[in-house]
């Protein structure tokens, strides 16, 4: 709150339009002092002109202040007595801005995606997927920070990279940068047609360099010896082996005799039971304990092991 001062004879003429180059709009930005006893630069004009009206609009947008609204703000700051308002009934305020080089946005997005996907042994290519709209930014130091992406998020043929932009340390806006991604790396490829139910071996597969990003993150490691599971559908010769082809063995299968864990305070008791359903690790299944007639709920915690729920 400013101290009340004599404003007798002060004539404040409201502009119809004003351009600001700061995060906040000050009264000095939108008025002209016309009285002889309150010239621009003197203490009275500085006190009046320093009244804060609020946030400046984002570049490309505008904000409108009516004379009535301005008078209310000035009164709230104890500076309304003796001011004669002239000029426009309202002022349109815009933010001074300049067009930003979108090539810098692509450079940041490209660098970030390559940082996530590069292993030192693969080749990552990134290019703009769609033309970016023109971007207006206020004057000031510009910083661009990408939002976090996981490798699974980035390992796709098309990826949206969100960039947060600050100007002078103040958040300005977020921009979506769509990019096309290619990652050339080793992948397993079928040597011959293989049918559903077959367990692929190294004799059935060969290693080729492919664009694994086009597989949308579903490629399996290029190590045929470590491959587990059967084919859940046919695969033709020359096709890349992806996770969609592999039926990974369940940690527990229906009818298996399993170890059943029960927590009792600091103790863990172990018994045996029969799995009444297939289950992967973390999945809930029904189990029939040995020497019991009813089934109970348990969570699969390891191959052949489940833990009773709620105990």
Q: What local confidence, expressed as pLDDT, does residue 146 receive?
A: 97
Residue 39 has pLDDT above 80, yes or no: no
DSSP 285: E
The proportion of the chain whose per-residue pLDDT surpasses 70, expressed as a percent, equals 92
**Burial bucket for residue 77 (CB in 10 Å: 0-12, 13-18, 19+):** middle
Q: Tell me the backbone φ, ψ of residue 213, rounded to 5 degrees.
A: -65, -30
Question: pTM for the full model?
Answer: 0.65
Query: How is residue 300 written in tokens?
Result: 């699969």
Across the range 73-90, mean pLDDT stands at: 82
Residue 178 has pLDDT above 50, yes or no: yes
Q: What local confidence, expressed as pLDDT, does residue 80 receive?
A: 60
The structural domains of the chain, ordered by start, are 10-95 (2.60.480.10), 99-183 (no CATH), 185-247 (3.90.1210.10), 257-308 (2.30.30.760)
Under the phi-then-psi rule, with left for phi > 0, alpha for psi from -120 to 50, and beta for the rest, what region is 197?
A: left
The proportion of the chain whose per-residue pLDDT surpasses 90, expressed as a percent, equals 56
Question: Is 29:65 a contact under the CB 8 Å cutoff?
Answer: no
pLDDT digits (tens, 9 = 90+) for 259-310: 999 887 778 889 999 999 999 888 999 999 988 889 999 999 999 999 998 7
Q: C-alpha angle with apex 158: 132 to 219, nearest 5 degrees?
A: 165
The mean pLDDT value of the chain amounts to 88
Query: How is residue 137 written in tokens?
Result: 């930014």
Question: Is 138:97 a contact under the CB 8 Å cutoff?
Answer: yes
Q: What local confidence, expressed as pLDDT, does residue 21 receive?
A: 86
The region of weakest confidence among 7-21, 145-159, 233-247 is 7-21
């Amino acid at each position: 709150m400013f101290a009340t001062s004599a404003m007798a004879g002060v004539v404040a003429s409201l502009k119809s339009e004003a351009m600001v180059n700061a995060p906040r709009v000050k009264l000095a930005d939108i008025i002209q002092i016309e009285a002889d006893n309150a010239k621009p630069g003197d203490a009275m004009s500085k006190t009046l002109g320093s009244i804060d009206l609020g946030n400046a609009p984002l570049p490309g947008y505008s904000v409108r202040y009516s004379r009535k609204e301005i008078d209310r703000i000035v009164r709230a700051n104890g500076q309304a007595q003796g001011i004669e308002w002239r000029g426009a009934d309202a002022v349109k305020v815009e933010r001074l801005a300049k067009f930003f080089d979108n090539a810098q946005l692509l450079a940041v997005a490209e660098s970030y995606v390559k940082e996530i996907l590069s292993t030192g042994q693969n080749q990552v290519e990134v290019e703009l997927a769609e033309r970016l709209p023109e971007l207006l930014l206020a004057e000031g130091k510009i910083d661009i920070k990408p939002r976090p992406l996981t490798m699974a998020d980035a390992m796709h043929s098309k990826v949206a990279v969100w960039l947060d932009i600050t100007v002078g340390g103040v958040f300005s806006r977020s921009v979506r940068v769509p990019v096309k991604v290619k990652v050339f790396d080793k992948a397993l490829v079928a040597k011959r047609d293989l049918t559903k139910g077959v367990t692929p071996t190294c004799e059935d597969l060969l290693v080729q360099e492919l664009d694994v990003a086009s597989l949308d993150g579903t490629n399996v490691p290029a190590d045929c010896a470590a491959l587990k599971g059967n084919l859940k559908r046919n695969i033709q010769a020359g096709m890349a082996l992806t996770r969609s082809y592999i039926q990974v063995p369940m940690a527990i299968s229906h009818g298996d005799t399993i170890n059943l864990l029960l927590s009792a305070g600091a103790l863990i008791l172990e018994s045996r039971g029969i799995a009444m359903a297939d289950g992967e690790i973390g999945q809930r299944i029904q189990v029939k304990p040995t020497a019991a007639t009813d089934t109970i709920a348990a969570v699969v915690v390891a191959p052949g092991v489940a833990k009773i729920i709620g105990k």
